[in-house]
Amino acid sequence: MASLKEKIGYGFGDMSSSAFWKIFSAYLPIFYATVFQLSLEVTGILMLVTRIWDAVSDPMMGIISDRTQTRWGKYRPYLLWMAIPFAVAGVMLFTKPEFGEPGNTIWAFFTYILMMTVYTGINVPYGSMLGVMTEDSDEKTVFSSFRMFFAYAGSFIVLAFWEPLCNFFANMLGTLKAGETLTRDPQAWQYAMMVVGVTCFLLFVLTFFMTRENVKTVEKTTSVKDDLGSLLHNGPWWILLGGVLFFNFFNAIRYAAIPFFFTTLIAADAHLSFFSIDFLFYAGIFLAIGEVANMAGVAMTTPITLKLGKKSTFLYSLVGLIVLCIAFYFVPTTGTGAYWTLLILQILISILTGIISPLVWSMYADISDYAELKFKTASTGLIFSSSSMAQKFGGAFGGAAVMWLLAAFGFNTEEGAVQTEEAIHGIQLLMSWIPAGIAVLSAIFIIIYPLTTKRMKEIGEQLKEFRK
């Protein structure tokens, strides 16, 4: 039985990763479009190209980490080795040089590819640790729930304070304009990322010292070719990969669209009151409240899955997401009542995504056990890297799709520009019918996923004998 210290320590790792990831998902598209001044079309290409590289680098990192042997284990040492590059690459990503338009475009491609490479270098081993921290399938769900709870806590903090932090530095630099809800000063964005980068570095160091690899899997005696061959013949892996890819596509579409939704459709002085507390209704607080709801969903995951099973919980949550996203389309965007309705829908959507998120990692851990039994060799890192690959592919197509669709709808990135009705309607679709359709595609894959609770109990018993 793993200790509480290990579970908390494991959670710190995704608190760090998720803080970076949520900033990339929510604010990097609008940073490139309005601060860095890349065109929407180029921004879309940038997001797609960098994640295609991730499709290659993730399995590569999984193969490397599977074959790593140190006194600290296979996967854990990468948390220490990659923590500093992780923080530095994040700061570089939000740095705008003065190289001219062609040079700045090259810089954007270079720093984004660098960041995603470093992210892979630390996050694939981190995710793979779940497969070697405990043998018990239900305890893996508990570990995964701790992971996601801390991830959403980190996301809440960074999303709630990102815009105020950027504006704080802009005000300090004397560049914050009157009535500006989010500064366009690149130096303020860079300073804000420095604060986040240092914090995330410290969290990964804590994860390294608070966790251990407790399960000794079968040593690697197979070739890379054999490992890839077994992965390609792993039916459950393919099915879950499809379901997870479209689920992450769903999340990426919504995250990338929300800042545009608020800057275009919600008044800059929109406020809400909760009891005696009055607060500004802006993209960051909308996202941050969603993270709190995600945390509530994570807390519900274990009791719900123990009753319904992982597959059913995943599927029912997707059905709920489809219904709620369609409802989002019919809500007006002016007036206190409308603001509260939008926020309630965001909370409900976030609860459901919070329930699903731990299931993804726990189900990949199940697939790792299935693969070890079926192919007689553990490829935990390679299998978990496929989840990271799906996450990044979903983010790639989601982020790129938002940029290209905004361009197609005629969205104007110039400061103070008045948007056309077509652009406004397009943003509404990006928050409603489009993600709903993507959730339908995810549900189709989960319907045919074969590793039920009964099947995993059988696999667990057989593996105990195999590992003796």
How many Cα atoms within 13 Å fall on the side-chain side of residue 87? 20
CA dist 17 → 21, 122, 144, 197, 451 (Å): 6, 9, 14, 10, 28
Concatenating the DSSP letter of every residue in 265-288 gives HS-TT-EEEETTEEEE--HHHHHH
pLDDT at 233: 66
Question: Which residue bears the tokens 């607080």?
Answer: 285
- 178: which DSSP letter? T
Q: How many angstroms separate the CA atoms of 47 and 330, rounded?
A: 30
- Residue by residue, pLDDT tens for the chain (468 residues) are 778 899 999 999 999 998 888 888 788 888 988 888 888 888 888 878 887 787 678 778 877 888 888 888 889 999 999 999 999 999 999 999 988 888 999 999 999 999 989 998 998 899 888 878 887 767 877 887 788 788 878 888 888 889 889 989 999 998 888 767 788 899 999 999 999 999 999 999 999 999 988 777 555 555 666 666 666 667 677 888 888 888 988 988 888 889 888 888 877 777 787 777 777 787 888 888 888 898 888 888 888 988 888 888 999 999 999 999 999 999 988 888 888 999 999 999 999 998 998 788 778 777 777 766 666 665 666 676 666 666 667 777 777 888 888 888 888 777 666 778 888 899 999 999 999 999 999 999 999 988 776 777 776 666 666 655
CA dist 180 → 23, 120, 282, 333 (Å): 20, 35, 12, 20
Q: How many angstroms separate the CA atoms of 280 and 406, rounded?
A: 26
Q: Which residues contact 166 (CB under 8 A, 6 or more apart)?
A: 182, 183, 185, 188, 189, 192
Q: Which residues contact 48 (CB under 8 A, 6 or more apart)?
A: 396, 397, 399, 400
CA dist 389 → 148, 163, 429 (Å): 18, 29, 27
CA dist 271 → 195, 267, 282, 285 (Å): 28, 9, 8, 11
Q: What's the token pair of residue 181?
A: 């809800």
Does residue 3 sit in helix, strand or coil?
A: coil
pLDDT at 160: 83
Nearest 5°: phi and psi at 205?
-65, -40
Q: How many angstroms separate the CA atoms of 297 and 404, rounded?
A: 32
pLDDT at 313: 92
pLDDT at 18: 87
Is the distance from CB of 356 to CB of 446 less than 8 angstroms? no
Q: How many angstroms separate the CA atoms of 346 and 406, rounded?
A: 22
Q: How many angstroms separate the CA atoms of 140 and 214, rounded?
A: 12
Distance of CA 217 to the CA centre of its chain: 28
- Closest to 247 in 3D by CA, of 58, 397, 405: 397
335: left (phi over 0), alpha (psi -120 to 50) or beta: left
Could you please state the CATH topology (level 3) that the domain comprising 7-211+220-466 is classified under: Growth Hormone; Chain: A; (1.20.1250)
pTM score, whole prediction: 0.71
Degrees to nearest 5, angle at CA 280 with 330 and 432: 20
Nearest 5°: phi and psi at 362?
-65, -35
Q: How far apart are the first and last CA of the chain?
A: 18
Instruction: Locate the domains of the chain by residue range.
Output: 7-211+220-466
Question: Which residue bears the tokens 């800042």?
Answer: 259
| Mean pLDDT over each residue of the chain, to the nearest integer | 84
Q: How many angstroms separate the CA atoms of 466 and 305, rounded?
A: 27
Sign of the dihedral defined by the CA atoms of residues 296, 297, 298, 299, in that order: positive
Concatenating the DSSP letter of every residue in 21-33 gives HHHHHHHHHHIII
pLDDT at 132: 82
CA dist 96 → 158, 184, 189, 190, 228 (Å): 21, 11, 9, 8, 39
Concatenating the DSSP letter of every residue in 65-110 gives HHT---TT-SSTHHHHHSHHHHHHHHHHHT----SHHHHHHHHHHH
pLDDT at 432: 93
Is the distance from CB of 148 to CB of 357 less than 8 angstroms? yes
Q: How many angstroms separate the CA atoms of 376 and 218, rounded?
A: 8
Q: Which residues contact 302 (CB under 8 A, 6 or more apart)?
A: 138, 141, 142, 145, 358
Q: How many angstroms separate the CA atoms of 375 and 229, rounded?
A: 10
Q: What's the token pair of residue 467?
A: 């590992």
Question: Which residue bears the tokens 């932090």?
Answer: 165
